[in-house]
Amino acid sequence: MEVFTHWHTWDTARADIAASGLPIDVDALEKAVSAAERWHGDQKRPTGAPYVEHLLEALEVLVRGAGVFTPSVLTAAVLHDVVEDTPASVQDVEAGFGPEVAELVDWVTKPPAGGAGRQAKRAARAAYLRRLGDAPAEAIQVKLADRASNVQTLDRMPPDFQRRYYAETLTYIVPLAEPHPWFRTWYASWSAGFAHLR
């Protein structure tokens, strides 16, 4: 299973993209990275790493792995958590990056749980994941890259979380990868590599 953890900083990502000669507007992406850094502020990943690393991993999955160069998809990948995890709104994303990016971010944004308690949160999460089956292909690409970033190093998470997240990924995310050949192959390799969590 290929792991996408090389782009820890925007400087590294930008240099790699520029050297590759790929048809990617690095200046537009830099604007998205700057906005994501501003909105996410000092948020950290569960590992303690700066949150932007996750966003750059999702971008790296799309570019270096899946070969996706669609500007709106790449921008949405960088911004995919801003509405869910920061004070930014879908309207803020639209004002800065246009309606297409805002729509993709909206599709992958988990709505707040409707009630208190673990059951309500799990039900809301399941409903959100099921709804992704109706999302446009571009939004699904963003979600697949997001989840790939999260699960590629699943073994670094607490054991009870590993099993739950593995099962959730098999149930809801792997089926979304079916129409996307690169993602289908990557998730098949990933699920085999973590099969001990079944």
Q: Which one of the listed residues 85, 94, 100, 168 is annotated catalytic?
A: 85
Rounded to 5°, the CA angle 147-107-25 comes to 75
d(C-alpha 168, C-alpha 6), whole Å: 26
Tell me if residue 25 is catalytic: no
d(C-alpha 97, C-alpha 41), whole Å: 19
| Exposure string over 77-96, b if 16+ CB within 10 A, otherwise e | bbbbbbbeebebebebbbeb
For residue 44, what is the DSSP state?
B
Tell me if residue 146 is catalytic: no
d(C-alpha 5, C-alpha 3), whole Å: 6
Q: Which one of the listed residues 37, 84, 94, 168 is annotated catalytic?
A: 84
Contact 157, 150 (CB under 8 A): no
The catalytic residue positions are 84-85
